[in-house]
Structure 1
Amino acid sequence: MQLLPYFFFLLVLGTGVRAQSADGFSLESEEDGVRVYIRTEDNDEMSVRVVTRTTAELRRVRATLDDAESYPEWVHRCDGAYIVPGGTANDYLYVSGIDLPFPFRDKEVVARVQQTVGPQSVFRRTIRAEPTAVPPNAGRDRLQVYFGEWVVRPLSRGVVELQCTVRTDAGAGLPGWLRREILTNGPAKTVSNLRDRLEATP
């Protein structure tokens, strides 16, 4: 009987360890089937990972992610986006605007998208900032740090897991409430909106 408190301690300790993944992400919230994980980085940056599931064909997920002009309809705070001419279907540049409330200056990201389909038909889409690839927009602050990754993993019976990870300095210099709204709530809303868009009747 004296071993019971010890076993209970190990159980609690194990639960705490599982709350943080091997790569340092900790569960921040879970609501309506959307899990949000965060990891604090150096230089006022933050990484956010959002995971959910939906019923959709992989080709439809990919087509939606590639349709930059439709981003304002589902990407949180996006007020316009376009693909820069000259790339390929699996390697291209895009520009996306980020609308911020007055008196803060709007931001934008210029990034390269690279896409692959690996074993088990797992679709991987990496997004890396290339801030000097397109001439600057005088009316916006261009993000210097931006890394994103979409992993779309087919499961069973037409269900796919959507995982979106973003690392950025978009919140630098902003008040705490707006920083949280952009860095944490923004990716969660974006993934939730994408799920709803995919589940809507075509």
Structure 2
Amino acid sequence: MKPAPFLLSLLLSIPTGALAQSEEWQLAKEEDGVRVYLSHVPGSRYKSFRGVTLVKADVSTLGHLQENLRVSCAWLYACAQMRLLKYTDEAIWVYLDTKLPWPAAPRDLVLQVSTEETPDGGMIRRLQAAPDYIPPVEGRIRVPMLSGTWQLVPKGPKLTEVIYQMRADPGGSVPSWLANQFVVDAPLVTLRTLRVVAEHQEIQAPGY
């Protein structure tokens, strides 16, 4: 998942700043140093989320934790399995199988991920669902629409602001209470767990 000088957008090649300005974010929860904001998506039953936290680790450490798919599945909320489908200089395609809480049916998704380095030494990963990239998997509902970004913004030596933003349509039927719980728990648990893993890795790094 090497940084690629380009493009896309897990959210559809809309610049991250433009997307942030076009949405009205409301703080939904703040816990353990993680802030979760929600926004209504016109024409959708599901809200988008934005999670923000500070991590005592550099951009490189966080980038490597995202690029190791086995490790990233361990800290990504509701991830059961993640595997690489294709790699190019411009993007990668990843298959992700989920383990959602009952009564939601199991879902899977294919993500197209592109990476862009920013002038300040940070990084933006743009994600977008590619539901037709591989055939349907028996026993799984394929997520038809998902777009989002990971932003890694350096804030000082060994200090990075992490912004995780996503909007999606899970497909099929999902109880409203579960959907509302997911858009809060997904960024909260993901960022909290990523922070623990990244900061532990920094402590264990030689010469720390």
Give the TM-score normalised by the residue count of structure 2: 0.81
Q: Quote the sequence identity (%).
A: 25
CA distance in 2, matches of 1:61, 1:194: 8
1:79 aligned residue: 80
Larger RCO (alpha carbons 8 Å, 6+ apart): 2
CA distance in 2, matches of 1:176, 1:131: 23
1:57 aligned residue: 58
Kept after mapping to 2: 8 A contact 1:171/1:182: no
Alignment of 1:1-202 (within 5 A): 23-41=23-41, 42-85=43-86, 87-88=87-88, 90-170=90-170, 173-201=173-201, 202=204
CA distance in 2, matches of 1:172, 1:119: 41
CA distance in 1, matches of 2:146, 2:22: 22
Label 1:30 to 1:200 Cα distance change in 2 as closer, same or farther (>3 A). same
CA distance in 2, matches of 1:77, 1:132: 22
Residue type at the aligned position of 2:32: D
CA distance in 2, matches of 1:103, 1:157: 44
Residue type at the aligned position of 1:151: Q
CA distance in 2, matches of 1:198, 1:165: 19
Unaligned runs of 5+ in 1: 1-19
Give the TM-score normalised by the residue count of structure 1: 0.83
1:22 Cα deviation after fit: 6.1
Label 1:171 to 1:138 Cα distance change in 2 as closer, same or farther (>3 A). closer
Aligned length in residues:
182
Residue type at the aligned position of 2:56: T
1:7 aligned residue: none
